Structure formats: structure tokens, C-alpha cells
């Protein structure tokens, strides 16, 4: 059953969802438009970045509608209508977008085909397993069950962090000096923004419940998703544009006209 | 609680919102279509200009729907239905679009990559801080609280004006003679249209309340948004088109066919 909220709590969440829809939609169109501006080999990274924000736009649209249907405003309070707020859209979203986010990061590095395939497969699978293992905990009310699945999902998470910082060290050192700092920062954005999710997962297990915690979690998820997907996607764009410029300058070739 | 309005007051606001939807939508499509006509380096500016009006279109759509749901017409009057009119969409919109508007202005100047990044980051952050500082005042009914946040938000606003007129003086002096006046005018459009917002913010603090003031504010916001976003975006397009012509003429290259 959904919690009773004050109108302000309800409204902040509502506006955070709407903000996320606008941010994801705008980022998607920007990435698709500007995809024509980068070198051939980075077009795939921008296509995937734009798809991640498009998938997120779709899910936030559904989440927004579900939130509106779950509450009715009466006398300054937001009362549950009985139609449950569907939070599971998030897991469905993550199952698609989280592996793709890691693939974006691999693609922007411009590794060899074989290495790209190997790293993208390994990181993509780890990300999918992480999301799948988190789900049984998310839908459980029992603290013990939640801790168990949280712990299991943390194994692939830690493995991903290890791959990003140890497995990809060589690939990052091989980046042109002009973008090495940007690629390394993209990796940090991933790790820092993703850390938000397992922390929030613990909130109900450590007594952070009630309307304020509940609405703070929804706003927090929205902000984390905007950083991890839209802001990260724009960062990937900046790297692709910068690397394309460098490569066009070196080859003496003309930049594409459209 | 929303105010009771006369049918005329209600209807003028309703039509102003619908006008804004049409203006933003048309500008978006024009900018995206004409993006193919300008030189490589100005495509980013037109992509962002079109996104600003698209984001505004989205929010005005939601504002329009919220206005319709907030009132019911009875006996020649517009009576509140109890579903509150959500004005917060404006702040959510500004948080995204106001930094982007300044970035448009920087991009159209055609500065070096490093300078573009430095100026876009500084102005974008100042703009976001300005919007964030305005919000707590906007949702407060207390005149003292409103003045406090108004004053705090004015600090980044004045700083932005300073950056536009002093920080960018050199960049504007370096523009080709044929477009220098246009770029300078774009800066003036920004400052003049943006000044509308802090003035309207003060209305309730100086006793301008009631149905007439309330509906005048909504119409005023719509007009300011059309000037600051759609008209400004078209202005940016004119500058991009003119600069592209000059650069194509100088390089002897053909203009792209599409």
C-alpha cells in the first residue's frame, strides 16, 4: 500500500519526474542530431547514448502516469487511491540501460573490435546480473531477504568497479592526452552515480521510512538517473566530438558537412 | 488555493498558453529543419536552440493541461476545482533552458574549444544557481522570505549581466563586422527579456494580487518565454546563417545542399 503524503512531498516527486522526462527527451534529441557531427567510429556510441535516454524517457513517462494515478489530492494531502504506484518500471529500465551505459563507455574508448566485443560482453552481462539480483530484494518487505539480495547484487557491482579501474586502466592510458582526463572522468561519473542505488536500497532496512524518506528516495532516483544517463551521455558526446576533431585534424580529412 | 477568476481572465491565460505552445513548436521545427543549412560549427548552437523551445513546448503543454484541470466554468466565472494549478513546471523548465540559452549565445560566437567550454560552464552554472535560488521564494507566501530569496537570486543574475557585457566584450569585438551588431543585440534580448521575471516575482510583495494581477502574470510569463526562447532562438539562427554565408564565401567552399 502506498503511503499518505503531504501535498508538498507529492508535488516535489511529481515535478522531479516531469523534470526527468524533459531532461531525457532533450538529451536524446541532442545526441541523435549531433551524431552526424562525429567520426564514423563514434556514431555507434552516440546512437546507444541516445537510446539509453530514450528508454529512460519512456519509463519515466510511465512512472509519472503511475504516480498521478496512485494519488488523489484532498484537503492539502495526497491520499493513495488504491491503485499502486509501480516502481518496478525502474528495474525494467535498468535491465536495458545499465548494460548499455557500460557499452557506451567501452565504445568511446575506440579499442580494437575484438577487445570491444570482449569487454562490452563481460561488463554488459555483469550489469544485467547486478540488476536481476537486486530485484527480489526490492520487492521484499523482509529486512533479512533484502540484505541477502543486496549483498548478492553487490558482487557484480564491485566486479564492475574493478573492471573499470583495473581492467580498463591500460585502455585509458592509451587514450590521446587531450581526452584522457575526460574518459577517466566518465568512469568516475558511472561509479559515483551508480553508488546512489545500493545506498537508497538500504534506507528501509535502517529505519528511514515515512513520507519524507519515501519522497526523498524518488527524487534521489530521478537525480541519479539524470546524472548516470543524460549527463553521462552528454559527457560521452563531448569525448566523441573531441576525439573526432583530433582524428580529422591528424588525417587532414574534412569534417562531415551534415 | 487557486483564485476565483472571471471567465475573461481565465480565457486570456488559456489562450496565451496555447499561443506559446504553437510558437515554441513552430520554432523548434524551423530550427531543426534549417540546422542543415549552416556551417558545421554552428549546428550545435541550432540543436540547442531547438531543444530549448522543445523543452518549453513540453512544459507549456503540461501547464496548459494543469490550468484546464484547475478550473471549472460556472455562471460566467472560473472556479477552482481543488486540483491545484502547477506553476512549478516553470522552474523545472528554467532549470534546463536558462543555462542552455546562455550556452547558445556562447556557441554562436565561435570561440576556441577551451574558451567555449570555460564560458559555457561558468554562465551555465550561474544560470542554474539563479533559478534554484528563486524557487524557495516562489513557493513562499511570506513577503520577507520572498525578498530574501529574490535578493539571493539577483546576485547570480547581476553576475551574468556583468559576464555578458564585460566578460564577453572582447569576444563580441572579435566578431566579423557584418554580424557584430546582431550578436550584441542577442545579448540585449537576453538581458531585457530576463528582467521580466524578477519584476513579476515582486508583484505579490507590493500588493499586486487578485485575479487581474494573477492572470496578467501568467500572460506576462508566456510573452517573456516566447521572447527569451523562440524569438531569441530565431535570432541565433539568423546569426548562424549570416556567419555561415561569410565563412563559405571566404573559404570558397560550396554551401551544403541540404
Sheet containing A5-6, strands listed edge to edge, beginning at the edge strand earlier in sequence = A5-6, A77-80, A71-74
Residue A257 binned pLDDT confidence (cut-offs 50, 70, 90): very low
Please tell me the distance from the alpha carbon of residue A96 to that of residue A232, in angstroms, as a whole number: 16
- Sequence-distant contacts of A196-200: CB under 8 A, at least 24 apart: A196/A220, A196/A221, A196/A223, A196/A224, A197/A134, A197/A221, A197/A224, A198/A134, A198/A150, A198/A153, A198/A154, A198/A157
Which residues in chain B are closer than 8 Å to A22, comparing Cβ atoms?
55, 58-59, 92-93, 96
In a mutagenesis test of the B interface, which of A22, A31, A74 is the best target, namely the one with the most B β-carbons within 10 Å? A22
What is the mean pLDDT for each group of 10 consecutive residues in chain B (258 residues)? 87 96 97 93 94 96 94 92 87 94 93 89 95 90 91 96 91 91 93 91 85 89 95 95 90 60
What is the reported pLDDT for B87?
Answer: 81
Q: A242 and B113 in contact by Cβ < 8 A?
A: yes
pLDDT in tens, B164-196: 999 889 999 999 999 999 999 999 999 999 999
Which residues in chain A are closer than 8 Å to B83, comparing Cβ atoms?
73
Q: A22 and B113 in contact by Cβ < 8 A?
A: no
Contacts of B178 (CB under 8 A, 6+ apart): B242, B246
Residue B257 lies in a domain: no
Residue A62 lies in a domain: yes
Residues 100-129 of A with CB under 8 A from B: none
- Its domain, for residue A156, covers 5-251
pLDDT in tens, A153-212: 999 999 999 999 998 888 899 999 989 999 999 999 999 999 999 998 888 888 887 888
Straight-line distance from the first to the last Cα atom of chain A, in angstroms, rounded to the nearest whole number: 52
Residues 5-64 of B with CB under 8 A from A: 32, 35-36, 40, 43-44, 47-48, 50-51, 54-55, 58-59, 62
The Cα-based distances of B145 to A122, B132, B174 in angstroms read: 54, 15, 44
Helix axes A232-251, A177-202, angle to 10 degrees: 170
Residue A222 binned pLDDT confidence (cut-offs 50, 70, 90): very high
Per DSSP, the three-state class of A110 is coil
Q: Comparing C-alpha atoms, which of A78, A19, A8 is closest to residue A222?
A: A19
Residue A43 lies in a domain: yes
pLDDT in tens, A32-69: 999 988 999 999 999 999 999 999 999 999 999 999 99
The separation between CA A4 and the C-alpha centre of its own chain, rounded to angstroms, equals 29
Please tell me the distance from the alpha carbon of residue B13 to that of residue B102, in angstroms, as a whole number: 28
Per DSSP, the three-state class of A14 is helix
Q: B58 and A22 in contact by Cβ < 8 A?
A: yes
Residue A25 lies in a domain: yes
Please tell me the distance from the alpha carbon of residue A127 to that of residue A93, in angstroms, as a whole number: 12
User: A243 near A179, Cβ under 8 Å?
Assistant: yes
CATH number at residue B102: 1.20.1070.10
The Cα-based distances of B246 to B176, B243, B251 in angstroms read: 9, 5, 9
Q: Which among B44, B55, B91 has the least Cβ separation from residue A26?
A: B55
How many CA atoms lie within 13 Å of B149's alpha carbon, on the beta-carbon side?
A: 20
Residue B253 lies in a domain: no
Residue of B nearest to A78 (CA): B83
Which residues in chain A are closer than 8 Å to B258, comparing Cβ atoms?
258
In a mutagenesis test of the A interface, which of B31, B37, B40, B248 is the best target, namely the one with the most A β-carbons within 10 Å? B40
Low-confidence winner among A146-155, A223-232, A249-258, B154-163 (lowest mean pLDDT): A249-258
Which residues in chain A are closer than 8 Å to B49, comparing Cβ atoms?
none
Low-confidence winner among A8-22, A57-71, A244-258 (lowest mean pLDDT): A244-258
Residue A1 is given by DSSP the state -
Residue B106 lies in a domain: yes
Please tell me the distance from the alpha carbon of residue B99 to that of residue A128, in angstroms, as a whole number: 35
Contacts of B134 (CB under 8 A, 6+ apart): B91, B149, B150, B153, B197, B201
| Structural domain count of chain A | 1
Residue B174 lies in a domain: yes
Give me the sign of the Cα torsion angle A53, B135, B129, B164: positive
Per DSSP, the three-state class of A5 is strand
Per DSSP, the three-state class of A77 is strand
Which residues in chain A are closer than 8 Å to B82, comparing Cβ atoms?
73-74
For B43-76, letters b (16+ CB in 10 Å) and e give: bbbbbbbbbbbbbbbbbbbbbbebbeebbeeeee
Please tell me the distance from the alpha carbon of residue A184 to that of residue A109, in angstroms, as a whole number: 10
In sequence order, the β-bridge partners of residue B71 are B80
Amino acid at each position: 500500500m502506498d503511503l499518505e503524503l503531504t501535498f508538498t512531498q507529492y508535488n516535489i516527486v511529481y515535478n522531479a519526474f516531469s523534470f526527468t522526462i524533459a531532461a531525457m527527451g532533450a538529451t536524446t534529441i541532442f545526441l541523435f542530431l549531433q551524431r552526424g557531427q562525429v567520426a564514423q567510429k563514434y556514431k555507434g556510441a552516440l546512437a546507444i547514448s541516445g537510446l539509453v535516454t530514450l528508454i529512460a524517457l519512456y519509463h519515466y513517462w510511465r512512472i509519472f502516469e503511475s504516480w498521478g494515478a496512485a494519488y488523489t489530492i484532498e484537503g492539502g494531502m495526497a491520499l493513495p487511491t488504491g491503485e499502486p504506484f509501480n516502481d518496478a518500471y525502474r528495474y525494467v529500465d535498468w535491465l536495458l540501460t545499465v548494460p548499455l551505459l557500460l557499452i557506451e563507455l567501452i565504445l568511446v574508448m575506440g579499442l580494437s573490435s575484438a577487445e570491444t566485443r570482449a569487454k562490452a560482453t563481460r561488463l554488459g552481462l555483469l550489469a544485467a546480473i547486478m540488476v536481476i539480483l537486486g530485484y527480489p530484494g526490492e520487492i521484499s518487505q523482509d529486512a533479512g531477504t533484502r540484505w541477502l539480495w543486496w549483498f548478492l547484487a553487490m558482487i557484480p557491482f564491485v566486479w564492475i568497479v574493478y573492471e573499470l579501474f583495473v581492467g580498463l586502466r591500460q585502455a585509458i592510458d592509451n587514450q590521446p592526452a587531450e581526452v584522457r582526463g575526460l574518459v577517466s572522468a566518465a568512469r568516475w561519473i558511472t561509479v559515483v552515480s551508480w553508488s546512489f542505488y545500493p545506498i537508497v536500497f538500504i534506507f528501509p532496512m535502517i529505519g528511514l521510512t515515512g513520507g519524507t524518506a519515501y519522497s526523498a528516495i524518488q527524487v534521489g532516483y530521478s537525480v541519479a538517473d539524470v546524472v548516470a544517463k543524460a549527463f553521462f551521455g552528454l559527457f560521452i558526446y563531448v569525448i566523441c566530438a573531441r576525439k573526432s576533431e583530433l582524428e580529422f585534424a591528424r588525417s587532414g580529412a574534412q569534417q562531415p558537412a551534415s
